[in-house]
Structure 1
Amino acid sequence: MADIDFPEDLIKLERTAWAEIQAGSLTVPTALAVHEGIGAFVRQAKEAGTVVDRYAVEMGLKKRVRHAEPEAA
């Protein structure tokens, strides 16, 4: 799968959700915001003529946030 260029606002939403998950306090509004953000991203990509799979987008976003490589010093 090719790397997906996620918008920063979607990455921020997923980071918030991941922090809440780790703290055991994920809220419905946070989960819904991520869900809706992914949906909007997929719709925008399709409107731009790019074929994207929602599942691949969601998994790619989770991988980007949850398994990020450490930044070089």
Structure 2
Amino acid sequence: MAIELNDEPIQLRRAADQTRARAAGPYSAEAWRPWLEAAAVVHDAVTEHAKATGQNRYEVEKALVTAVKNAEGAPEG
């Protein structure tokens, strides 16, 4: 069964990825806290989607990662 995702988890994952990119560098709790918080929001969204649709959480997250990667390679417009 194909996993369908709406835009919300995709946007959340993109935002978390951007936050992580800004935090890159030497670790400090202060610098990495925004990414950890954003990652927790993504985790919760994936868990809720999996629960609501009766799908495996791991499979939903895998589909999300693939969707974000595919969207990043897609031309704008």
With the length of structure 1 as denominator, give the TM-score of the two structures: 0.73
Coordinate RMSD, CA, aligned:
2.1
Unaligned runs of 5+ in 1: 47-51
Report whether the alignment pairs 1:32 with 2:40.
yes
The 5 A counterparts of 1:1-73 are 2=2, 4-23=3-22, 24=24, 25=32, 27-46=35-54, 52-68=55-71, 69-71=73-75
Which is greater in Rg? 2
The size of the alignment, in residue pairs, is 67
CA distance in 2 between partners of 1:58 and 1:16 (Å): 15
Unaligned runs of 5+ in 2: 25-31
Per-residue CA distance 1:2-54 (angstroms, 9 max, x = gap): 3x2212111110110111223325522101100100011011102xxxxx221
Confirm or deny: 8 A CA contact 1:17 1:30 kept in the other structure: yes
Moved over 6 A (4+): none
The percentage of counterpart residues that share the same residue type is 25
